Amino acid sequence: MGEEHWTSSEQDTLALARSFALQLHRGDVVALRGELGTGKTVFVKGICETFGALAHVSSPSFVILNRYEGKDRNDRELLIYHLDLYRVRSLDEIYDLGYEEFFYGDGITLIEWAEQLGELLPAKRYDVHLTYGESDSRRRITIESMISPKEPVIAGKSRGTP
- Please list, in sequence order, all residues whose beta carbon lies within 8 angstroms of the beta carbon of residue 143, skipping any fewer than 6 positions away: 2, 3, 5, 20, 126, 127, 128
**CA-CA distances (angstroms) from residue 138 to 8, 10, 21, 70, 84?**
4, 9, 21, 30, 23
Number of domain units in the chain:
1
- pTM to 2 decimal places: 0.85
- What's the pLDDT at 61? 55
- What's the pLDDT at 14? 96
Q: Contact at 8 Å (CB) between 80 and 51?
A: yes
Q: What is the pLDDT of residues 12-25, one digit of tens each?
A: 999 999 999 999 99
Q: Contact at 8 Å (CB) between 20 and 155?
A: no
β-pair partners for 144: 127
Q: Which residues of the chain have pLDDT under 70?
A: 1, 59-63, 148-162
- What's the pLDDT at 106? 92
CATH number of domain containing 124: 3.40.50.300
Instruction: State the sign of the Cα–Cα–Cα–Cα dihedral 59, 128, 158, 25.
Output: negative
- Boundaries of domain holding 83: 3-158
Q: What is the pLDDT of residues 114-137, one digit of tens each?
A: 998 888 899 999 999 999 999 888
